[in-house]
Amino acid sequence: MSAILRGRPWPLGSTITAQGVNFSVAAPKANRVELLIFSCSDAPSPDQVIDLDSQTHRSGDYWHVEVQGLKAGCLYGYRVFGPLAPGGHGFQPAKVLLDPCTRGIDGWSVYRREMATGASPNTDSCLKSVVCERNTFDFDAHPRPRHSWQQTVIYELHVGGFTRRSDSGVAQERRGTLLGVIDKIPYLKDLGVTTIELLPVQAFDPEDAPPGRDNAWGYSPLNWFTPHQGYICGDDPLEARTQMRELVAACHDAGLEVLLDVVYNHTTEGNRNGPTLSWRGFGDQIYYHQTSKGDYLDVSGCGNSIAAHQPLSRTLILESLRCWAIELGVDGFRFDLGIELSRGEGLKPLEQPPLLEAMEADPLLSDLKMVSEPWDCGGLYRLNDFPAQRIGTWNGRFRDALRGFWKGDDNSTWALGQRLRGSPDLYEGKPVSLGRSVNLLTAHDGFTLKDLVSFNGKHNLANGEDNRDGENHNISWNHGVEGPTSDPAVMALRRRQQRNMLSTLLLARGVPMLLMGDEVGRSQGGNNNTWCQDTPLSWMIWSDESCDTDLFTYVKRLLAVRRQLGDLFNPEIAHSEKSKRLSRDPEGLWRQWHGVELGKPDWASWSHCLALSVHKGNDGAVLWAGFNAYFKAMHFDLPVAASPWHRLIDTALPPGQDLPEHPDHWTPSGIPLESRSLVVMVAEECLHSVAL
């Protein structure tokens, strides 16, 4: 038997010491805690049960003990005793609990989610916590790329789905894993993105899904510290942290940043009838918003909502962020339904949420990129007034405006102009500063870009919920045929519309995000909610037969244009909209809006055309962009250029000519825009910057 010492309350979780391992966990309302030590991952019962005496092994809210002779790889769990919460849930001493701060998890071969519900013991089917090292990431050897927000282009991808296919070019044992993503770094670099945003890689429960399906996306957290075992090569839980570091190091070496999509607004324990796996068993009323009668309050749509205003919840989330940022090296976070974290007692929105204040004040998190969804399922939507200055937000209004304009909706031209300006209408009359808004057209939650132009409605029957799940308001258009078609006219128009929307996204002022596969025309068959589809339906496509390689070339060149003409799209460089005669800076950039005639934009509800030009002082225009979402071709006048015009982009032209390596010289004083097309002209003096 191992020697038992008093231990200490900090650090939380399990920590290797000179003599063994220190364990510490918060359970303020418990009256007794047992630490269980297991011999192996499938052990039906513990080898050792250590009863933590409240006089010796408790300091305030924390229970702690040091056990001599233990080392990395030790498997453990807890039983916690105390009163039931109102409503009959809370402490369940029959259940073996995961340490909320564990850095490793094992026992997947025997795990059964259903055994964590009810009153029966789950000792023979429980997951086990694993003692792991807690070393710091080697930033000296693999420093953060630290791209400015102006340079940043985010690429959202799913670790499993990105390399799952056999034609991905990834060795079989690495497909669908963190290491598999490493093998595709050359692809990402060739495309030209700067930052990858990984859908949840924190450990989640694959069984939290409808019968016969898997939780594929991972928005069902089981633990906030452990890399998901399903994304690891092999079954050694100690390898999870090593392989996560390998991915981050490889990305840093290639100049790519790594952001994580993190889910701190709810857990996989669901509502009051859900399983008792971890948080609930240690502090049901501490971690979850509840009524006085013990009913769970839910603004996540998943059965529970984390009470992030509570000190212990806040401590745990901050410690998790530090773990991923300092121990595993990631460069930032995107917070799923992040505005939920601003809610206080009774879900009341707080102007100064304690968690968000603490995140912004933490020096260990001060150099990270942080972005959040500004909405939750309770109807809270805070974009401009998101209650944290260093946390940017997904701009859903940008998405809706672009979709509506190119679909041909009424009242869409003014909205498009606002988004191209940098959304001043959403940010107190001023263009949004860089880092405060992420512009998106598509994301994992919703249609892919190809499906956006191929389907009028969602087709989610494969999810087993009778097509009730998923967003109904997609602002999509099938262009005449629902789903796949061999009609050449429809196919050509859909290809053009994809280029129109991608061009508008990447040339707008702000920080853009691309969805995995949009650059090659990936379809999900009209399914806009593939959260439970770990199947080819949601996987990345790779073969030339499946991919739109012309679109890939177009996006690659478009990213090069954005990179090399960045000052023209930088919202932090003020573009006056006064005439050149009033310009105070003879070299300064200023913007003018047009319709088909110069200086006469048509903002009417029925308008479907818009143009803008960027001028350099009194020298003339250096950039002109025209947008025609009308069903007829339109002829636009061009302003006088600072140097001869060259046609950089024309989405109505055939692939390869739509964004050519060598833009053609343009001498006429006007230019035709085919129906539903986009044209960008650039002055010759800027052309040398664009190397395609």
The pLDDT of residue 569 is 65
* pLDDT value for 525: 97
CATH code, 46: 2.60.40.10
Alpha-carbon distance 636 to 623, whole Å? 14
Is residue 593 one of the residues assigned to a domain? yes
Tell me the residue range of the domain where 122 lies: 4-130
User: pLDDT, tens digit, for every residue of 73-122?
Assistant: 999 999 999 987 766 667 999 999 999 999 999 999 999 999 999 889 99
pLDDT computed for residue 581 by the predictor: 47
- Strand intervals (E) in 476-586: 511-515
Q: What is residue 285's predicted lDDT score, i.e. its pLDDT?
A: 87
- On whether both 380 and 469 belong to a single domain, the answer is yes
Task: Flag whether pLDDT at 169 surpasses 70.
Answer: yes
Which of 309-323, 395-409, 465-479, 562-576 has the lowest average pLDDT?
562-576
Q: Report residue 588's pLDDT band, with 50, 70 and 90 as the boundaries.
A: confident
Residue 542 predicted with pLDDT over 80: yes
In a domain, 546, yes or no: yes
Residue 571 has pLDDT above 60, yes or no: no
Amino acid at 473: H
Residue 299 lies in a domain: no
pTM over 0.95, yes/no: yes
Pair 549, 617 in one domain: no
Share of the chain above pLDDT 90, in %: 88
In-domain check, residue 281: no
Instruction: Indicate if the pLDDT at residue 691 is higher than 70.
Output: no
Query: What was the pLDDT predicted at 226?
Result: 98
Give the C-alpha separation, 256 to 154, whole Å: 10
Residue 603 φ/ψ region, left for φ over 0, alpha for ψ in the -120 to 50 degree band, beta for the rest: alpha
Give buried/exposed letters for 475-492 (b at 16+ CB in 10 A, else e): bbbbbebeeeeeeeebee
Percent helix, strand, coil in the chain (nearest 5)?
25, 20, 55
pLDDT band at 431 (very low <50, low <70, confident <90, very high): confident
| 382: DSSP letter | -
Do 349 and 482 fall within a single domain? yes
Using alpha carbons, select from 221, 241, 223, 222 the residue that is nearest to residue 231: 241
- For 618-636, give one letter per residue: b (16+ CB within 10 A) or e: ebbbbbbbbbbbbeeebeb
333 and 470 co-located in one domain? yes
Which of 523, 542, 564 represents a domain boundary (last residue)? 564
How are beta strands 32-38 and 128-130 bridged, if at all?
A: unpaired
Strands (E), 583-644: 589-594, 609-616, 621-628, 634-637
Based on the domain organization, do 588 and 539 belong to the same domain? Answer: no
Whether the predicted pLDDT of 134 surpasses 70:
yes
Residues 9 and 72 in one domain: yes
Q: What is the dihedral sign for C-alpha 336, 338, 339, 345?
A: positive
- Residue 688: pLDDT band (50, 70, 90) is confident
Contacts for 52 with CB less than 8 Å, ≥ 6 apart: 32, 33, 34, 35, 58, 63, 64, 65
Distance, CA of 263 to CA of 266 (rounded, Å): 7
Question: How many whole angstroms separate alpha carbon 580 and alpha carbon 589?
Answer: 10
351-362 pLDDT tens trace: 999 999 999 999
CA–CA separation, 412 vs 161, rounded Å? Answer: 35
In a domain, 96, yes or no: yes
Q: Is the pLDDT of residue 610 over 90?
A: yes
CATH of the domain at 488: 3.20.20.80
CA distance 102 to 238: 12
Report whether pLDDT(466) > 80.
yes
| Average pLDDT of span 585-589 | 71
| Residue where a domain terminates, one of 534, 564, 594 | 564
In a domain, residue 292? The reply is no
- How many C-beta atoms surround the C-beta of residue 19 within 10 A? 14
Per the structure, the count of domains in the chain is: 3
Section 175-183 average pLDDT:
98
- β-bridge pairing 677-683 and 645-650: antiparallel
- Considering the domain architecture, whether residues 582 and 669 belong to the same structural domain is answered as yes
CB 267 within 8 A of CB 283: no
- pLDDT exceeds cutoff 80 at 69: yes
pLDDT score for 564: 87
**Cβ partners under 8 Å of residue 140, min gap 6:** none
Model confidence at 477, pLDDT cuts 50, 70, 90, reads very high
- 457-472 average pLDDT score: 95
Residue 173 CA to residue 246 CA, distance in Å, equals 16
Catalytic residues, by residue number, are 336, 373
> For residue 231, which of 221, 216, 220 has the smallest C-alpha distance?
216
The answer on pLDDT for 432 being more than 60 is yes
Q: Copy the structure tokens of residue 348.
A: 């009341």
Over residues 424-436, the mean pLDDT reads: 86
Examine the pLDDT at 187 and tell me if it is beyond 70: yes
**Token pair belonging to 194:** 């700067």
Among the candidates 517, 547, 564, a domain finishes at 564
pLDDT exceeds cutoff 80 at 568: no
* Paired tokens of 172: 């079989």
- DSSP class of residue 463 equals G
CATH number (domain holding residue 640):
2.60.40.1180
Same domain, 32 and 78: yes
Judge residue 88's burial from the number of C-beta atoms within 10 Å of its C-beta, 0-12 exposed, 13-18 middle, 19 or more buried. Answer: exposed
Residue 189: other Cβ atoms inside 10 A: 14
pLDDT band at 410 (very low <50, low <70, confident <90, very high): very high
CA gap 11, 566 in Å, rounded: 45
The identity of residue 19, as a single letter, is Q
User: Is 576 in contact with 588 (CB distance < 8 Å)?
Assistant: yes
Structure tokens at 239: 């390898």
pLDDT band at 430 (very low <50, low <70, confident <90, very high): confident
Give yes or no: residues 524 and 586 share one domain: no
Residues 449 and 408 in one domain: yes
511 and 470 in one domain? yes
pLDDT at 614 over 70: yes
The Cα–Cα gap between 483 and 237 comes to: 43
- What is the H or E stretch that residue 385 is in? none
Q: What is the pLDDT of residue 582?
A: 47
| Separation CA 190–CA 612 (nearest Å) | 30
Average pLDDT, integer, range 53-72: 97
- How is residue 245 written in tokens? 């570091």
Residues 515 and 639 in one domain: no
- Strand boundaries in 559-673, DSSP class E: 589-594, 609-616, 621-628, 634-637, 645-650, 664-666, 670-673
Average predicted confidence (pLDDT) for the chain: 94
The pLDDT score that the predictor gives to residue 692 is 65
Mean pLDDT value across residues 660-678: 95
Residue 670 lies in a domain: yes
With a CB cutoff of 8 Å and minimum separation 6, the contacts of 242 are none
Rg (CA), the chain: 27
Sorting pLDDT into bands at 50, 70 and 90, what band is 585? low
User: Would residue 175 count as lying in a domain?
Assistant: yes
**DSSP E strands, 152-269:** 154-157, 195-198, 257-262
Q: Which two tokens stand for residue 192?
A: 């030209």
